[in-house]
Amino acid sequence: MQCVILAGGLGTRMRPLTETVPKTLLPVSGTPFAHYQLSWLARHGVREVVYCVAVLGDQVRDYVGDGSRWGLAVRYAEDGDELRGTAGALRRALDAGLLHDWFLVLYGDSFLPFDFRRLGTAFQGQSRPAMMAVHHNHGRWDTGNVYYADGIVHLYRKAVGGESLPGMDYIDYGVTALRAGIVAERVAPGTKHDLSALYHNLSREGRLAGLEVTQRFYEIGSPAGLRDFESWAAEHSVELAV
C-alpha cells in the first residue's frame, strides 16, 4: 500500500516549538514523532510513503531520508512557498507522478493504532472513490463531524466553532483511502483546496464510504494530545520498535 503523509502545515497550536521544528518531528520521549508513525505504518501493510512537505520540509527529508530504516520507500512532494491546502498538496503529488491509482492519506501529526490493511482491503472491495475511517466518538476525543451508517458516510462536515450538527456521534479517524482519479477530477492544478471540502461534497453525493474503527486515535497537534500519545507510546514500546 501507498500512504501519503500530509506534513506541510504550520503547526500553530504547538508554537513556539514548531517555529524551528516541523510538527511531525516533535520529540516524543526524545524521539521524533515520525519514527513512531513510520514504524507503525511499516508493520501494518504500508510499503511506500509520499511526504507532502512545505515549511521546514528539509528537516523531514534529512531525518526520514529514503525510508529504508523503516523498510519503506519514501518520496517527497514540495508544496513550495505558497501553501495550497491539504487537497492542493495531493494535486501537486499527482502532477509530479508520485501517486498510485489509489492510496491512503494520513496527517503528519496523527497516530492511529489500527491495522491499515483493513482500510485497504475494504476500500478495494467497493466502488466509491473514497473511504474514510471513522470512530464512534460520542464527543469524547473531539467534536463529531460525521453521520455514518451501514458503511457509508452520509454527511461529513467539519465542525465550525467547535460545534457539530445534532446526532454527529462519529468523527473522521484521520485516514482516508482515495482514488487518484477523484483528485484529478475535483482539485484543479495550481489552486488552493482543502480535503474537508472534498470530503463534504463526496458525502453529499453518496460517494464517500466509511469504515468504523474502534481504537481511539492520537494526535500531537496540541500539548494535551502530545502528552496522551507519549503515555501510550511508553506502554507500547515493543509494538513500535523497528
Worst-scoring range by mean pLDDT, 37-41, 82-86, 110-114?
A: 82-86
> Can you give the residue range of the structural domain that contains 227?
2-237
pTM: 0.91
Please write the tens of the pLDDT for every residue from 200-228. 999 999 999 999 999 888 888 888 888 88
> Does 52 reside within a domain?
yes
d(CA 218, CA 111) in angstroms, rounded, equals: 5
Which residues share a beta bridge with 212?
134
pLDDT band at residue 239 under the 50/70/90 scheme: low
SS3 62: helix
pLDDT band at residue 63 under the 50/70/90 scheme: very high
> Does 242 reside within a domain?
no
**With 80 as the cut, is the pLDDT of residue 71 above it?**
yes
Which residues share a beta bridge with 6?
52, 107
DSSP per-residue letters across 79-91: --SS--HHHHHHH
Contact 183, 91 (CB under 8 A): yes
CA distance to 7, 27, 199, per residue, from 31 (Å): 17, 5, 33
What's the one-letter identity of residue 80? Answer: G
Which pLDDT does position 116 carry in this prediction?
Answer: 96
Report the domain count for the chain: 1
Q: What is the CATH number of the domain that holds 164?
A: 3.90.550.10
SS3 106: strand
Instruction: Give the chain's count of helices (H) and strands (E).
Output: 8, 13
Contact 209, 131 (CB under 8 A): yes
> Does 124 reside within a domain?
yes
> Does 221 reside within a domain?
yes
